[in-house]
Structures are given as C-alpha cells and as structure tokens.
Structure 1
Amino acid sequence: MPVKVGCEVIVLSGASGGVGRQILASLVEVDKVIGIYNNHAIEHQIESLNFTGVKVDLTCSLSISEFIKNNQKILQNITLVHCAAAKTDGLLINYKESDWVDLMDINLKANFLLTKGLLPIMVKNGWGRIIHVSSVAGQQGAIGAAPYGASKMALIGLSRGIAKEYAKFGITSNVIELGYFEFGLFNVLSDLVKAQLLEQIPSKKLGNTKNIFNCIQFLMQSDYVNGSTINIDGGI
C-alpha cells in the first residue's frame, strides 16, 4: 500500500491521458486528487471518493483563476504534478509557427500559469511540492522533435528558478525526466523504431508506472530535495 505522506491535495494536470492517466489510480490512494483535463473528460476513468475531475484551459489565466476560486476550500497543502503535454513532430525546416505556439502553450505556458496561480496558496500554507514532468528528448535531442525537446528542457530552468525563489516558504520544485515506458507514444511507433530505442536502454526493458509514482512519493516526502532533475530512464 502507498505510504501516507501528510499532503492534503494533489493537483494533477493532464490527468486524462499519457502519464497523468497512468499514475492517477495510485495517487488517489495517497490523498485527495484534483485531476485537471481540457479535451477529454476523466470522471468515468476512476471511481474514488478522493478524486475530482475539473475542466480547465491551462493556457488561459482566467480559466485557472476560476478553478482556484471555485476550489479554494480544498486547495490546501498542495502537491502540484504537471503532466499536461503535447507533442507535434516535424523537421524544423518544415515546422509551422502555429504548431510551435500550440506546443509551447501546453508544455511550458500552462505549467507557468498553473504554478503561478497556486503559489500564493503554497506560500500562505508554508508548504508546497511542485513536480514538473520532462522527457529525455530534451537532453538527448531527437529527429523531428526539436521544439518538443526545447519545451521540456525549458522546464528545468523554470523549476530551478522557482526552487531558489520559494525554498524559504517550505516549497520545493523538482523535475522528473522520463525515458521510454510501457504506455503512451512508444506503442504507436514502428517495430524498427521500438527496437532502436530499446537498444539504448542498458536493461533492454521499458519503464512502468510504479517507477514514476515512487519518485513522486519520494519528492512529496522530501523537504531537502529542491531544484533537482531526477532521470527515470533505465540508465539511458
């Protein structure tokens, strides 16, 4: 069973798909979870008294303000897990400016706006955990994924700045950088590309959900891990 860590609410962005959907069932065993979604409703995905799904446009500061206003009674002692992400591939020479803007809106601007909106509550409580989900695509680089990698690397700079600014208020900000997992985008790749990616992993196996959840629990419990980037990639 997951260990209770004393948090009051976990705010999980991107709860309807990808990493967010995979870790949701484990997070509700730890504390109350507010799962934020935009395009795909998630209420039907999980049945738990600890779970509330809320539709929020994370690229709109007004939508975020409304979310905070409507949920202020339960937004106390917050762990904020940023899983909302988009990925539009393409060689840079052909990449559309509109695709760049859309990608950065979801992968970076949304992270900034939601963190900014919840920080005053964390400061008032004297406690907060901010966890940004990044990708090895940022560190390694990948053909057709330069904008995506740029957005994920930018999270590291954002997180380290937040860590230095708000540590005195009992708030930590860290990044978990993910490799290749049993779910999500890996499963839509060709067999050839899958084999090439597996060859990069020393253990020659994909990660599973528990590795991500274990890291989140560790960061929730740790007050002296701050401004760090933790790679969960099997040794890539």
Structure 2
Amino acid sequence: MSKVAIVTGGTRGIGAAISVALKEAGHKVAANYGGNDAAAEAFTKETGIKAFKWDVSDYDACVKGIAAVEAEFGPVDIVVNNAGITRDAMLHKMTPQLWREVISTDLDSLFNMTQPLIGPMRDRGFGRIISISSINGQKGQMGQTNYSAAKAGMVGFTKALAQEVAKKGITVNVIAPGYIDTEMVQAVPPKVLESIIASIPVGRLGQADEIAHCVAFLADEKSGFITGTTLTCNGAQYIAG
C-alpha cells in the first residue's frame, strides 16, 4: 500500500537514491534539502519527486516543513533521516562551532524530524523511522570525533525509541553504510581512495542504490518484526560484534 515518505537530504547522493527507490516501491515521496537549489531543481526535473527546503537542525523549521509535506501528500508514514554533514578536524584543533554544526545536523535532526511525527504515527498504528548512520559511527574514525559521535548517537536513539513504540506498529532502525561511491567519496585524494578500497574485502566501493534497497526493505509493511536493529552495508570492511 502506498505510504507518504520524507527523505532528509533527499536530493543528492545516497538520499537521492533512497528517494527514487521509495518512489519505485509505490510511495509518495518528499525529498528534503538544505541549501543547493540547483541540485534540487535538477533532481525534481529528472525524477518527478518534489523537493522541500528546510534546515533539519532547526526544530521549528522541521515542524513547518512536515506540515507543508502533509498538506500536499497527507500524513507522513515513513521518515528517512539521511541528512548529514562533516566538519573534520583532530579534536585538539576542533572548535565548538565545528562540533555543534555536525551534532546539530546529524544527530539533533533525528529528534527534530521524529518527535513531531511520532504521536500521529502512534495514533494511526503504523510508522517506519529509518536513520542513515555510518561505519564510522560503529568503529570511530580519526579526525571525526564529532561525526562519529553523532552517527553512534543514532544507534542509541533508535534502540530506545524502538522499545517505546514497538506495540504501536512503528519500527525504528538504522542503516550503517561503509564507503559509498558518491561525489564526497570521489573527492578523496586518489591514493587515499585506493587504500580505502584495498581495505574493503569485497574489493569495491558500495553503490548508493544498494543503501536505497536496504531502506526500501525496512520501509516495507512486511518488515514489521524488524526493529531496533543496525543493518550494516559495508562490504565486510567492519563487522560489528
């Protein structure tokens, strides 16, 4: 049955692939984005998926953005917390601003996007909350204490909320991608990228549509017994115990 989905950071990279996969699964999709108007316009023109602009680090902006989506498509049943940024620095050189920017966008956004939706989902007896973490939230990464902390925090958020809403027909899960073939990864210096690929047992980068496939699976009505889990998709680069 068709549901209404919001994908944050949904017009580029992994987010764009997720938006398309959910549309192909029959859902009505709203792709949130934060700042790149040209990319959002191109995405909508190519896919027919409408883009909605708001800052996921701002709670009030999220409330207004969700209301705009629901006014057009109806109640939101699926939220994919994909929006994220990096502001890398060794901790002894990291400023409070670099820390706060990442935590606000990557972690606070889970509260900002989920809290306004969780009550109505409970009332309707259905919901899918899926957050995109990272391999670096599982194993840590030098120079990314802010990013690793935010991505690890997603897991704790998910495990707690899953228990709160398990009897209400709502599932809450995390996907932890490894290194995916996106613009951000391709911008890594060639020698560094070569060393990254060499550390991945399957011998290649992941593809955005592979992450999107995981999201579509967890969003499906038949995935209702899977909740509170972290689904790793990293080519066996890191195997969590």
- How high is the TM-score relative to the length of structure 2? 0.90
1:125 aligns with 2:91: no
Native 8 Å contact 1:164 1:227 kept in 2: yes
Query: Secondary structure in 2 aligned to 1:28?
Result: helix
Native 8 Å contact 2:129 2:171 kept in 1: yes
Rounded to whole Å, the distance in 2 between the matches of 1:89 and 1:68 is 30
User: 1:33 — aligned with what?
Assistant: 29
Provide closer, same or farther for how the CA distance between residues 190 and 71 of structure 1 changes in structure 2, counting only shifts above 3 A. Answer: closer
User: 1:105 — aligned with what?
Assistant: 104
Aligned counterpart in structure 2 of residue 23 of structure 1, from 18, 27, 33: 18
Shift of 1:50: 6.1
State percent identity of aligned pairs.
Answer: 28
Rounded to whole Å, the distance in 2 between the matches of 1:149 and 1:214 is 24
Count, aligned residues:
231
User: 1:54 — aligned with what?
Assistant: 52
User: 1:200 — aligned with what?
Assistant: 199
User: Residues 99-129 of structure 1, C-alpha deviation per residue, up to 9 Å, x if partnerless?
Assistant: 1111100000112111101112211211000
Native 8 Å contact 1:7 1:78 kept in 2: no
Query: Secondary structure in 2 aligned to 1:59?
Result: coil
Q: 4+ runs of 1 displaced by more than 4 Å?
A: none
User: 2:5 — aligned with what?
Assistant: 10
Shift of 1:72: 3.0
The letter for the 2-side match of 1:213 is A
> Pairwise mapping of residues 210-225 of structure 1 onto structure 2 (< 5 A)?
210-221=209-220, 222-225=223-226
Provide closer, same or farther for how the CA distance between residues 154 and 79 of structure 1 changes in structure 2, counting only shifts above 3 A. Answer: same
Native 8 Å contact 1:172 1:227 kept in 2: yes
User: 1:3 — aligned with what?
Assistant: none
1:162 aligns with 2:131: no
Rounded to whole Å, the distance in 2 between the matches of 1:70 and 1:193 is 42
Shift of 1:15: 1.4
Rounded to whole Å, the distance in 2 between the matches of 1:67 and 1:24 is 17
Rounded to whole Å, the distance in 2 between the matches of 1:218 and 1:29 is 12
Query: Unaligned 5+ residue runs, structure 1?
Result: 1-5
Quick check: which one's helix share is greater? 2
Rounded to whole Å, the distance in 1 between the matches of 2:164 and 2:82 is 22
Rounded to whole Å, the distance in 1 between the matches of 2:207 and 2:103 is 27
Rounded to whole Å, the distance in 1 between the matches of 2:101 and 2:2 is 33
The letter for the 2-side match of 1:106 is T
Native 8 Å contact 1:7 1:79 kept in 2: no
CA RMSD, aligned part only?
Answer: 1.7
Query: Secondary structure in 1 aligned to 2:202?
Result: coil
User: 1:227 — aligned with what?
Assistant: 228
Moved more, 44-53 or 173-182: 44-53
Query: Unaligned 5+ residue runs, structure 2?
Result: none
Moved more, 125-134 or 186-195: 186-195
Query: Secondary structure in 1 aligned to 2:227?
Result: coil
User: Residues 121-154 of structure 1, C-alpha deviation per residue, up to 9 Å, x if partnerless?
Assistant: 2112110000000111112222211211111000
Shift of 1:198: 1.1
Query: Secondary structure in 1 aligned to 2:181?
Result: coil
Shift of 1:22: 3.2
Query: Secondary structure in 1 aligned to 2:24?
Result: coil
Native 8 Å contact 1:77 1:127 kept in 2: no
